[in-house]
Amino acid sequence: MNLTSPLLEIEDKSRVFEYSDRYILESGEYLAGFQIAYTVYGNPDSNDGNVIWINHALTGNADVHEWWSGLVGEDKFFDPKQYKIICTNLLGSCYGSTNPLSINPESGKPYFYQFPQLTTRDIAGALEKLRQHLGLEKIHTLIGGSLGGQVALEWSYLLGQKLDYSIIIAANAKSTPWIRGFNEAQRMAIQSDCTWGEEIAEAGKTGLRAARAIGMLTYRHPETFQQTQDDEEEKLDHFKVSSYLQYQGKKLADRFHALSYWVLTKAMDSHDIGRGRGGAHKALQQIKAKVLTVGIDTDQLFRKEESQYISEQTVDGKYSEITSSYGHDAFLIEYEQLQYILKSFYLYTNHGK
């Protein structure tokens, strides 16, 4: 019996891109070089017209088949036999890219709390450096959800005619006070951890567990909790939802670290496609790619109206919607709906309006 995964048979080994020059950030701060971990699935020698570039959400990684297995893989919508699929670990994240626990080449010590502020535009600019390094003249499709969608939107602006299709899922043109408020509450939870401020890798770990619990309340819809966490028996304490949030908090804290979470939620807060470009309307009008935005009817974090706004303001935009009780997380769960939406979008754009 062949136990080898079909996907792994056509996987190009994970790589690390090293950028050695000074990288100036929007804040005026800089990184004295950086690295980005990335993975290529499919035929690495296929032409630029078959490149699918995928951005992960807040705590994702470059192994896209792990967290989007319903879309990426053999005989899935994005099949590595047909496409060259690239996924990176975003700058600031702790899965192989430069982050607060990385060594600052100027001091020879980890950055810790001296890590500079990142914006979604800074993260997109780092991806552009990688694209240039790879010698890709064109990207067929750039796709991302949530934070990954914010970064994808910024990069779509930078790419201009080098991008054919931009697919922005459960994201927005500018972060709202609602999003920034929830992110601040999560960072307050991290700050309340007595280890926060210490220069150790585990700093803020308990606080991160609480932050994740707060986050889970925004990623799902009340109906989801009603369906899955309601207690049938009469209780005074030890409710199902309490155990669920404790479990989710520990699960994240065991695989992620609080400093990256801090940096990336700050980057999400910074998101504003129109900053320095005459406002969101003017900036979105400059995107050359065909744009699909996907909203979720029950998303309480990135409301569907924010996705609709992007499609309405871009020159060649289309909006579609996922119907789900899962809230914001539906784009990671509702594979059948998302495949149908993507297939319809490509057919729509290829055959005209």
How far is Cα 287 from Cα 277, in angstroms, rounded to an integer? 12
Residue 164 designated active-site: no
How far is Cα 117 from Cα 266, in angstroms, rounded to an integer? 8
How far is Cα 316 from Cα 144, in angstroms, rounded to an integer? 18
Name the active-site residue from 79, 164, 193, 299. Answer: 299
Q: 3-state class of 22 per DSSP? A: strand
Q: Pseudo-torsion of CA 154, 155, 160, 166, nearest 10°?
A: -90
* Amino acid found at 353: K
CA distances from 351 to 344, 347, 348 (A): 11, 6, 5
Beta bridge partners of 294: 169, 320
CA distances from 63 to 15, 105, 113, 339 (A): 11, 27, 27, 20
How far is Cα 75 from Cα 82, in angstroms, rounded to an integer? 10
Cβ burial of 161 (10 Å; 0-12, 13-18, 19+) is: exposed
Residue 45 designated active-site: no
How far is Cα 176 from Cα 45, in angstroms, rounded to an integer? 41
Residue 328 designated active-site: yes
Percent helix, strand and coil across the chain, each to the nearest 5? 40, 20, 40
Name the active-site residue from 270, 307, 328, 329. Answer: 328
CB 179 within 8 A of CB 147: no
Name the active-site residue from 93, 146, 166, 325. Answer: 146
The catalytic residue positions are 146, 299, 328
